[in-house]
Every structure is written in C-alpha cells, then in structure tokens.
C-alpha cells in the first residue's frame, strides 16, 4: 500500500469509516456468528434509522424511498443527479463490508462535497439500497430494480421467503407500501458509482490499492425440484428406486464439472432441501437452486442448455420428474468506459495504484446501468474472503477509494459533462 493519505485523512477519515462500519454491524440477527441483516427485518429497519442519522450528521437532506432505501442528498445547480450507492442488507452469516463499505464511502464523499461549501453542479445522492443479495426472497437487486421501475406490487405479493412470508407482507411489516412502488424508471440519474469490497483475492495478491471494474458478471439462478419416490431404505432394491437425492447428486456433479470445463464460468449449488429428510426413507423430493455465472453471455447460455440436458437425462435414466423455475436472469454488464477513464485519472492524481478487473459478484450497479452510465471501484478483501464472518477490508483502502471517487465526481461537476 502506498502511503498517500495525509495525516488529516489518517486521523479523521479512516477512524470515522471504521466507526461507522462497526456501528452498522451491530444491527445483526446472528451476533457472534457473522452478520445477518435480511430485508424488511427489525435489523434492517434499525440500520436504516442509523444510516439516516449518519447522513444527517454529514449535512445531507435525507429521505426513504418505496423500496426501503435510505437516501442522503445534496441539491446541485441542476437536478440531474450523480448517485453513489451500495446495499445495507447482507447474506446469512455474512460480513461487515459487503455493501456497507460502499454506503459508508458514499456518505464520506458526500460529506467532503458538502463541507467544501460549494454547491456542486450536479445534485448528489448517497443511496443505501435494500435486498441486493436475494438471500431472503428470490430476486435480489430489489432497490435498483425498483428505481428502474421494474418491480410490480403483484410480484411482491407472489414471491415468498422460506417461511411463506411474501415480499409485500414483509414490506408492510416494515412500514412500506408495495402499491407505492414506482412503475416508471427514474430519469434524473446522470451517473452511478458503487464502491465495493472485491470479494476475491486479486487486488491483495497483486498488491494493488484499488480496482476499476471492467464488467459485472451475468448471474442466472434456477430452482430445480426433483421428484422421485419415497421408499423403504432397507428393502427397496437399488434398481427399483427413484432416489431424488441420487438424482440431485448426479446433477450437482454434472453442472459443476461443466463450469470447470467451460472456463470463465462458475456454478454453485448452495441451497438444497430434501423431503421427507428421514434417514431410513429414500428421498422422495429434492429442491435445489443453481447459481451460474460468467462475464460471457454465451457461456451462461451453454450452462443453461446443459442443465436442460441433465434434467432430460435424469428423466430418461432414473424416471425422475424435474421442474425448473427461473429465479434470476441478469446478463453481464460492461461498466462505462468514460467513467472508468476518469477513475483511472483520479487514481493517478492521488497517487494510488489501480488495475482493471472483472467482477465475479453481482452488484446493484449492473441494474442501475440500465438507466445511467455506471462504474464500480473495488477495495481489496483480506484473504479474498467474503459472504462469511471473516470478510474484512482495511479501511485505509476505503479512504483511498473515497478520495479517488470524490476526485472523479468533482471533475465531472467541473466539466459539466453528463
């Protein structure tokens, strides 16, 4: 790491970032076992109140949107708005930085611009988004999809969590009204920036301070229900069985081997349930979710086609009925070249090392990119770990990202170029 931070940054910005990350981490439904903050839960509502207060303390005008996002705004000379966003929800037993790092950095950038005392040309918004992960409900990217006018009240009434609670019911419990979800995209957003932990090992291994994202992976998720036949585990001959667990095991090996063979592709089966799930009964039904990704569209299509042929094979060879439900279809998205060039220039100006790299994780920025030019900046993840309690980033890198993105935003304001 290059020591470019002025004493002022080291004495104020870094400790303040650390404090906000630590305080936000308190709103957690699994204390002592990572961080869990699912959308519309008590912890989510609490962290929203906390973040709104931090935004107020930074001098921002705060508000909430219909999706449960928290917004801090600085009015500019024009209403067109530069958006700094990331999410406040987490996965189950996740870490303190995934999403929150970007929210905190966004607030610090807005604070610098506010404290400069100069009205920026473009308005600026920091947005703490809701349900980016899709860990509780099916879709994920909830706020960014709402801002794009793509979430209907009907969808919210149909999609349910594992306890059968619909998004709409969860929204109402959190004081939100699904019927107030905008059905048109926002038209005032001029550019989007998301700062995020890399969630991988590249920056740390190469000793690079900041990453400028080239493209965000496409992510598809399908739910597969494999319907076999429950039978006695002891008396049923192996050649008479319709064992849904055997079918699931064959499917998992096939889809993961396919991703390995394709290259620049990943496939994960991280969610599986068995019925009746009794040790001496052959599994009658297995439901599993397949998450498959690539930054290349044709590789996503190849993996999807492969799943179809695997299911046909299970039907033919094992007599297993297979039901596939699409749960997420997001295509790879290239980040805006012009904004990336500006970020590179800012990194050079403040003297931090940087490199271009793809994102294997999905992010709200890929959805916002549908309505405005979008760019992402990564900060290194220690050990490359994420989506686990060990997730950690040195806040000094976050302070560097604050400086770099702030420099870019100020440059855009000066050039009035959007």
Q: How many CB atoms are closer than 10 A to CB 33?
A: 11
Measured at CB, which residue is nearest to ligand HGY?
A: 361
Say whether 354 sits in a helix, a strand or coil. strand
Among 131, 137, 95, which residue's Cα sits nearest to residue 289? 137
Among 23, 93, 13, 48, which residue's Cα sits nearest to residue 390? 93
Burial level of 311, CB count in 10 A (0-12/13-18/19+)?
Answer: buried
Alpha helices in 116-243 (DSSP H): 142-147, 153-158, 167-173, 202-206
Given the complex with ligand HGY, which of 36 and 403 has the nearer CB atom?
Answer: 36
Work out which of 133, 243, 246, 395 binds ligand HGY, going by CB under 6 A.
133
Work out which of 171, 361, 365, 401 binds ligand HGY, going by CB under 6 A.
361
Q: For residue 194, state whether it binds ligand HGY (rule: CB under 6 A).
A: no
Shortest Å, Cβ 98 to ligand HGY: 6
Residues 248-277 touching ligand HGY, rule: CB under 6 A, are none
Say whether 315 sits in a helix, a strand or coil. helix
Given the complex with Mn ion, which of 220 and 250 has the nearer CB atom?
Answer: 220
Shortest Å, Cβ 99 to Mn ion: 5
Consecutive H or E run containing 204: helix 202-206
Q: For residue 362, state whether it binds ligand HGY (rule: CB under 6 A).
A: yes
Shortest Å, Cβ 15 to ligand HGY: 27
CA separation for the pair 226, 315 (Å, rounded)? 10
Say whether 52 sits in a helix, a strand or coil. helix
Total interface residues for ligand HGY by CB under 6 A: 5
The structure tokens 């050990």 sit at 383
Residues 85-144 touching Mn ion, rule: CB under 5 A, are 98-99
Q: For residue 189, state whether it binds ligand HGY (rule: CB under 6 A).
A: no
CA separation for the pair 386, 199 (Å, rounded)? 5
Q: For residue 332, state whether it binds Mn ion (rule: CB under 5 A).
A: no
Interface residues with ligand HGY (CB under 6 A)? 132-133, 140, 361-362
Query: Applying CB under 5 A, which residues contact Mn ion?
Result: 98-99
């Amino acid at each position: 790491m290059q020591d470019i931070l002025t004493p002022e940054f080291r004495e104020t910005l870094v400790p303040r970032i650390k404090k906000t990350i630590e305080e936000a981490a308190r709103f957690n439904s699994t204390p002592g076992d990572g961080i869990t903050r699912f959308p519309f839960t008590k912890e989510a509502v609490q962290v929203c109140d906390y973040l709104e207060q931090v935004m107020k303390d930074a001098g921002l005008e705060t508000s909430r949107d219909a999706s449960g996002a928290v917004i801090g705004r600085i009015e500019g000379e024009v209403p067109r708005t530069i958006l700094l966003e990331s999410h406040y929800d987490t996965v189950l037993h996740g870490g303190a930085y995934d999403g929150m790092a970007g929210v905190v950095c966004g607030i610090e950038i807005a604070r610098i611009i506010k404290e400069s005392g100069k009205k920026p040309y473009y308005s600026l918004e920091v947005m703490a988004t809701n349900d980016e992960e899709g860990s509780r409900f099916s879709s994920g990217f909830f706020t960014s999809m709402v801002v794009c006018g793509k979430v209907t009240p009907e969808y919210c009434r149909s999609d349910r969590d594992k306890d059968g609670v619909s998004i709409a019911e969860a929204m109402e419990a959190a004081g939100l009204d699904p019927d107030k979800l905008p059905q048109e995209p926002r038209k005032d957003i001029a550019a989007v920036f998301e700062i995020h932990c890399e969630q991988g090992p590249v920056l740390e291994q190469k000793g690079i301070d900041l990453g400028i994202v080239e493209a965000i992976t496409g992510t598809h998720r399908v739910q597969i229900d494999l319907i076999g036949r429950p039978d006695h585990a002891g008396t049923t001959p192996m050649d008479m069985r319709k064992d849904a667990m055997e079918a699931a095991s064959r499917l998992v090996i096939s889809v993961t081997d396919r991703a390995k063979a394709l290259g620049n592709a990943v496939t994960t089966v991280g969610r599986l349930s068995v019925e009746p799930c009794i040790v001496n009964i052959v599994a009658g039904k297995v439901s599993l979710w397949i998450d498959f990704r690539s930054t290349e569209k044709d590789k996503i299509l190849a993996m999807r086609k492969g799943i179809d042929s695997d299911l046909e094979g299970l039907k033919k060879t094992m007599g297993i009925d297979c039901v596939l439900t699409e749960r997420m279809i997001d295509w790879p998205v290239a980040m805006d070249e012009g904004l990336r060039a500006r970020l590179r220039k800012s990194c050079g100006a403040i003297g931090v090392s940087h490199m271009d790299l793809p994102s294997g994780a999905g992010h709200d920025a890929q959805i916002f990119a549908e309505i405005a030019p979008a760019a992402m900046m990564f900060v290194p993840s220690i050990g490359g770990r994420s989506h686990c309690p060990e997730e950690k980033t040195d806040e000094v890198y976050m302070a560097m990202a604050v400086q770099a993105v702030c420099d870019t935003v100020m440059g855009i304001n000066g050039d009035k170029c959007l």
